[in-house]
């Protein structure tokens, strides 16, 4: 077998794959900031639209700039008729992530990027229209309605919830959605962002890079953890059921989703923020099971495995308390992370080099070719 002196690194762990001025997880993986601003400050003091502007335009907007930006996003929510027709033809049984992947690709055919100077406009368009695409499909099949996606709503979070139910959402729900979108907006060279940058490095169009990112996020080891976490939480009717069931699950070598992180070693700084929102929403709706069970799972996983909850774990219960179907949890991730993906695509283009790593060869030594009639 061939050998090499190159160091083997599973999943590119600990490999620095490039430079970025967009986000850092901080020294020793403990902190998180977007363009220098701490996630704790952004989540408690900024709207998602402010964060989107920061990521895409490299500065926090002034009041006037934010007003204009909100107006711009609201003006970009309409869906082209050919895309509506396609959304209606996609089966109700399709996974919503597949719907977003397909819809984004078709939008790229209808509104193509013909020059890289259009990239900011396309980023804003996708930020505005992704919730429209997802929920038009959802409401058409679930409620047999062709909804008007030009529905007025002051923020992306309010817009999402209003389209989902057709009703004016509770202010606490709007605020919780805003925080969730801020927390999911960006996270350095994660799998989907790296996929977007790889596609962008080939000088592919903007939509192709985003479709690559959506495809990477589709996998349960990246974007589906919040869905899996909710499925786990709903197995239990009381906190007392948690420990024996999870002990048995660990004995069977089952992976408990929503815990630990590839980068963070002791805690995920986003988790305490969304946990408090989950607690607030639990109290608001009179929950006596889901949140206590979630805390019991958190305590068990720390005691048994020294694993902490990541952002996905308490996001699951927060979305549940807002009445959001589990199948839409990962698509919400897309509606937020489009900001980070777009920022990385533009950054890759600004100082581009084709991303083409090498591999550690483990195949056979060179050997002679055998003609087909001589093979046994």
**Residues tagged active-site:** 222, 261, 312
Alpha-helix runs per DSSP H in 58-113? 63-75, 81-89, 96-110
Nearest to 160 by CA among 148, 172, 177: 177
CA distance 326 to 286: 20
Token readout for 167 is 């009703």
CA distance 174 to 159: 9
CA distance 54 to 350: 17
Task: Collapse the DSSP code of 93 into the 3-class scheme (helix H, G, I; strand E, B; otherwise coil) and give the result.
Answer: coil
CA distance 181 to 259: 20
Q: What angle do CA 194, 196, 197 make, to 5 degrees?
A: 65
Token readout for 333 is 């991730």
The phi and psi torsions of 23 (rounded to 5 degrees) equal -150, 150
Under 8 Å between Cβ of 297 and 242:
yes
CA distance 358 to 9: 12
- Rg (C-alpha) for the chain, rounded Å, is 22
Per-position DSSP letters for 173-222, written without gaps between them:
HHHHHHHHHHHHS--SS-HHHHHHHHHHHTT--HHHHHHHHHHHHTSTTT
User: Helix 271-285 crosses helix 311-321 at what angle (to 10 degrees)?
Assistant: 20
E-state strands within the chain:
23-24, 33-34, 37-38
The dihedral region occupied by 258, where left means phi > 0, alpha psi between -120 and 50, and beta the remainder, is left
Q: Which whole-number Å values give the CA distances from 275 to 43, 78, 220, 268, 307, in the listed order?
A: 13, 34, 21, 11, 16
Under 8 Å between Cβ of 183 and 46:
no
């Amino acid at each position: 077998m061939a050998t090499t002196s190159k160091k083997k690194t599973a999943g590119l762990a600990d490999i620095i794959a490039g430079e970025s001025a967009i986000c850092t997880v901080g020294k020793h993986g403990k902190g998180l900031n977007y363009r220098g601003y701490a996630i704790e400050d952004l989540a408690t003091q900024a709207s998602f639209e402010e964060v989107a502007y920061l990521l895409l335009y490299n500065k926090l907007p002034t009041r006037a700039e934010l007003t204009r930006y909100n107006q711009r996003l609201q003006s970009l929510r309409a869906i082209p008729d050919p895309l509506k027709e396609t959304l209606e033809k996609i089966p109700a049984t399709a996974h919503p992530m597949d719907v977003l992947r397909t819809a984004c690709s078709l939008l790229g055919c209808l509104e193509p990027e013909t020059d890289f100077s259009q990239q900011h406009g396309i980023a804003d368009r996708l930020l505005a229209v992704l919730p429209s695409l997802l929920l038009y499909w959802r409401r058409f099949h679930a409620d047999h309605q062709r909804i008007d996606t030009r529905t007025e709503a002051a923020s992306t979070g309010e817009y999402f919830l209003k389209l989902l139910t057709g009703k004016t959402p509770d202010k606490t729900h709007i605020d919780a959605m805003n925080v969730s979108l801020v927390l999911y907006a960006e996270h350095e060279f994660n799998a989907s962002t790296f996929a977007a940058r790889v596609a962008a490095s080939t000088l592919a169009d903007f939509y192709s890079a985003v479709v690559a990112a959506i495809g990477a996020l589709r996998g349960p080891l990246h974007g589906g953890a919040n869905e899996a976490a909710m499925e786990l939480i709903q197995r239990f009717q009381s906190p007392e059921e948690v420990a024996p069931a999870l002990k048995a699950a660990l004995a069977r070598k089952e992976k408990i989703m929503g815990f630990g992180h590839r980068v963070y070693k002791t805690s995920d700084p986003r988790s305490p923020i969304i946990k408090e929102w989950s607690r607030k929403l639990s109290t608001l709706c009179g929950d006596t099971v889901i949140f206590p069970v979630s805390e019991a799972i958190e305590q068990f996983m720390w005691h048994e495995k020294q694993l902490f909850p990541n952002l996905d774990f308490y996001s699951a219960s927060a979305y549940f308390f807002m009445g959001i179907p589990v199948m839409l949890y990962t698509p919400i991730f897309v509606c937020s992370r489009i900001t980070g993906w777009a920022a990385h695509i533009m950054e890759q283009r600004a100082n581009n080099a084709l991303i083409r790593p090498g591999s550690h060869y483990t195949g056979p030594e060179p050997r002679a070719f055998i003609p087909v009639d001589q093979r046994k």
